[in-house]
């Protein structure tokens, strides 16, 4: 029996339905792009987390974590938001890099940070402090995240000099000992692993190899052995597993990083599509545990590249971290103390986030 021909009215109905579906998809896509580029990337937020990383008996510390400002001329909304963070009066400010996105952005970064530069601070730089952004194929971000395109050199030396002049400490490939809110903390950092500038050998070794007290003037006293520092803090711009494993093996309590932009585009129910580094998608932003003892906090950052000015499901953020003492086990030792890093650490909660 021969097939019946499709009636002209039916064919026209199918074409109209398909056309409407395509048009609806195009409108939805345009609305999504508009929202991501106009609304959400300017919808700044402060995230808070409580992390049990201090030595038992320590007093809580309030740490403000800022990252990935990517400032360029005309970003007044971002500048005002960052400047307002000074009202939080943190004990310590940590900047994990990618402050710049334009050759004339150094004064804008300093104006944005404003009174935060009067607080104790430490920093490391990222690739976009050293080099300006350049356009690249968006598919590379999804399928070739290790592909690098470096733009012209930016005035990172001027930015570093300004930070140091205001009293902030450059932790790049350096081990520091600071007194913050009356408590001793050990800090060390690496240069940006994203562009292969990290050399952990500069800071390798136990996080607190010589536990003797600070004399109050930045030096050592002869008063005898001192308890462990309240905090052993590691810094890196990109949270690459090789660097995190090294910090964990050396006994650091907490590592702060940025770079991922939280994935920048997040799918509801799925999360970040990519991280643009070696860390897994579950750690694209926020707090997690790395290995059995160390905590990791990754900031989703405050800015975007001028060539990808979009955020979806991932508001730009700064983070206020309430650091509290670790729990003490029945044996009298801090929970998780002395555990080694796992080469593929399981994802798990590392504190309370809201």
Separation of alpha carbons 294 and 23, rounded Å: 50
Cα angle 134-241-54, degrees, rounded to a multiple of 5: 115
Q: Hunting for tokens 């004399």 — which residue is that?
A: 215
By the 8 A CB rule, do 319 and 64 touch?
yes
By the 8 A CB rule, do 173 and 203 touch?
yes
pLDDT in tens, the chain (354 residues): 555 565 666 666 666 666 565 555 455 555 556 676 678 888 999 999 999 999 999 999 999 999 999 999 989 999 999 999 999 999 999 999 999 999 999 999 999 999 999 999 999 999 999 999 888 666 666 566 566 677 899 999 999 999 999 999 999 999 999 999 999 999 999 999 999 999 999 999 998 765 544 444 444 444 445 678 999 999 999 999 999 999 999 999 999 999 999 998 899 899 999 999 999 999 999 999 999 999 999 999 999 988 888 899 999 999 999 999 998 655 455 554 433 333 333 333 344 444
Question: Where do the domains of the chain lie?
Answer: 10-42, 46-353
Nearest to 150 by CA among 173, 181, 127, 179: 127
Separation of alpha carbons 188 and 52, rounded Å: 19
CATH classification (class only), 46-353: alpha beta
Alpha carbon distances (Å) from 178 to 45, 122, 161, 253? 29, 10, 19, 15
């Amino acid at each position: 029996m021969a097939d019946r021909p499709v009636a002209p009215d039916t064919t026209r109905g199918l074409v109209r339905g398909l056309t409407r579906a395509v048009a609806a998809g195009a409108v939805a896509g345009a609305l999504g792009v508009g929202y991501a580029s106009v609304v959400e990337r300017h919808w700044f937020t402060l995230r808070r987390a409580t992390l049990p990383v201090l030595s038992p008996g320590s007093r809580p510390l309030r740490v403000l974590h800022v990252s990935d400002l990517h400032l360029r001329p005309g970003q007044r909304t971002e500048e005002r938001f960052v400047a307002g963070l000074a009202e939080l009066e943190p004990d310590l400010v940590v900047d994990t890099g990618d402050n710049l996105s334009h050759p004339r952005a150094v004064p804008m970064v300093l104006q944005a940070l404003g009174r935060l530069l009067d607080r104790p601070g430490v920093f490391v730089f990222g690739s976009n402090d050293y080099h300006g952004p350049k356009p690249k194929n968006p598919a590379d971000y999804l399928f070739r995240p290790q592909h690098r395109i470096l733009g012209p050199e930016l005035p990172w030396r001027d930015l570093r000099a300004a930070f140091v002049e205001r009293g902030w400490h450059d932790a790049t490939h350096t081990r520091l000992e600071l007194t913050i809110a009356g408590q001793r903390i050990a800090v060390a950092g690496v240069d940006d692993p994203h562009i292969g500038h990290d050399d952990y050998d500069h800071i390798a070794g136990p996080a607190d190899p010589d536990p003797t007290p600070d004399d109050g003037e930045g030096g050592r006293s002869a008063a005898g052995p001192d308890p462990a520092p309240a905090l052993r803090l590691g810094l890196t711009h990109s949270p690459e597993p090789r660097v995190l494993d090294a910090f964990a093996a050396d006994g650091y309590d907490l590592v702060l990083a940025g770079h991922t932009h939280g994935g920048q585009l997040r799918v509801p129910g799925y999360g970040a599509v990519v991280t643009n580094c070696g860390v897994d998608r579950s750690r694209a932003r926020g707090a997690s545990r790395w290995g059995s003892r160390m905590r990791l906090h990754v900031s989703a950052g405050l800015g975007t590249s001028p060539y990808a000015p979009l955020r979806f499901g991932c508001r730009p953020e700064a983070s206020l971290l309430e650091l509290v003492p670790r729990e003490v086990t029945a044996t009298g030792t801090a929970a998780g103390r002395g555990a080694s890093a796992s080469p593929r650490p399981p994802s798990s909660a590392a504190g309370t986030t809201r």
